[in-house]
Structure 1
């Protein structure tokens, strides 16, 4: 290829990348070159070398945070997760009350599907922004959807970096959520380290009031094994404490060959503030999920229906049927079918 052609192609790529990064983002084809960004209507601000961000740092739809309101909602809507309830509530209370935190709040949620990881995330977001997950200051990524191509990791890295920089420059309280976080490419995790660490600002932007939530099934099997062992010892789940899980979960993320966090400095340097274990749910918790869903739908409580649906989900161990294999994940679908 001639030098002139190569220059022309490079210029075209640059223009395409800038167009993607500097335009309002609404919806994206997950297989397109811009698939790394999930838009909520925000405008992404792309910084050129040596430039600064001059947008307002306020978050117009931010609601006054009340630890009391968050606790009340967790009591009403989160079932069987005493550790997640306590850890998330304590972390948010301390972080939100601190007007000058040292670093962003970084939480890592672990457990099987249906145990409440995304559910508690929605509750947290709703207590910070009036529009909840629909807020322009909340950025939700499904890793396998928005960063699907390993061959495009360099582009994904540039896009994600600019997305975080631009949106935090607009709203310091921005929340970034990564579902299936263990599948993040190590290059993306290395890029994010600077945003998560203890820095006053980077290129004139402070990230210390932002919140990052990593959601993962990784560690779920270990949590379930410990829970089963606890049950066989005839101990109550409420006797489990954070120290039973913290080292186990951080080690699993750090050492598992399938984890994008393997040997990551984010873990080695204790940049993740809290590892939140989500325990397998029992029959009573699934039943409560059904009753809560009926209430959400504006329907009267129906104990018989709730019992029927809770009985119909799978449990393990096979003979004792103590812990739900899918948690509350299938409750809504089963309820729709029966209604």
Structure 2
């Protein structure tokens, strides 16, 4: 017997409700919620990653770990955590930021609360600076509204228009709310090559005088870094109110890498490919370029081209 029209409609509605409820439960189960289950710093994990995977950066490892722990453990921080990482390409600035995200968010680098802006990719045209400013403010506001524990990475700061940084200054200040949004639990990280000369110069002088790189202290570099990035017209921070008003919490140097660190990078790359061949590690590391010409103490490109070098052997 055919089902009456009214019965068919009711049955269809029940089925649809069931499907909706099933999808809702599935969605809620798989969603990335902004809570302590999905966002919680694995302190031991980050510490171990810095120790075993971020080579030659004793200052950066210590400062980042302490800064993030302090910010996240404070129920009501006075401002967002704002760090500026400096050093030449291949020293680990991007990698350190990624390790932090992997140990903070349950979804790691795929987390919807982890955002990366690259100057040459996202803000390439100077004539569109006004549009970029508006878009950037809206993007940050929208994402912090979604989750206060959002992280924003600004890469290639030395290629970024200073106006963009001034545009987000209100979000980084000592204030409870900006247009009814609280930004104090967010994390802002700036990556830049600016100051690399000073960092490399100091590191080289330590090594040439027989001292170990581990004896270099943050206090010997931090103030000079802040002055360098403020006065350098190619820094992205040039004459910005961000520095004038002391809104950068930490200027963190990434030191140039030595031969032993490049060897560690080679081992890590080989391991990621399932290869164990200690006999070729030194050979690959030696194929990199080092300076000064005679002493060959420091790697010119850090670990930047290690993967490409390994490709030549496997």
Q: Normalising to structure 2: TM-score of the pair?
A: 0.87
Q: Encode CA deviations 1:242-300: one digit per residue, 9 max, x unaligned.
A: 01111111001110122231121111121001111011100100001111122222332
**Range moving further from structure 2, 195-204 or 61-70:** 61-70
**Aligned partner of residue 312 in structure 2, secondary structure:** helix
> 1: distance between equivalents of 2:82 and 2:128?
26
Match of 1:70 in 2: 46
Distance in 1 (alpha carbons) for counterparts of 2:284 and 2:307:
10
Which position in structure 1 is the counterpart of 2:304? 329
| Superposition deviation, residue 61 in structure 1 | 7.5
Alignment map for 1:280-299 (pairs within 5 Å):
280-299=256-275
Paired residues for 1:74-113 under 5 Å? 74-113=50-89
1:193 to 169, 190, 200: 169
Alignment of 1:211-226 (within 5 A): 211-226=187-202
* Per-residue deviation, residues 76-120 of structure 1 (Å, max 9, x unmatched): 101111111111111111111112111111010100110011111
Counterpart position of 1:160 = 136
Runs of 4+ off more than 3 Å? none
CA-CA distance at 1:335 after TM superposition = 1.1
Deviations 1:196-222 (A, max 9, x none): 111101111110110001000010011
- SS of corresponding position for 1:304: helix
SS in 1 for 2:251: strand
Aligned partner (choices 286, 294, 311) of residue 311 of structure 1: 286
Q: Which shifted more, 256-265 or 159-168?
A: 256-265
Matched with 2:116 is: 140
Give me the whole-angstrom Cα distance separating, in 2, the residues matched to 1:171 and 1:59: 9
Match of 1:206 among 157, 176, 182: 182
Given that 1:79 and 1:288 are in contact with CA atoms closer than 8 Å, whether structure 2 keeps it comes out as: yes
How many residue pairs match? The answer is: 283
Distance 2:273 2:68 in 1: 29
Q: Which structure has the greater CA radius of gyration?
A: 2
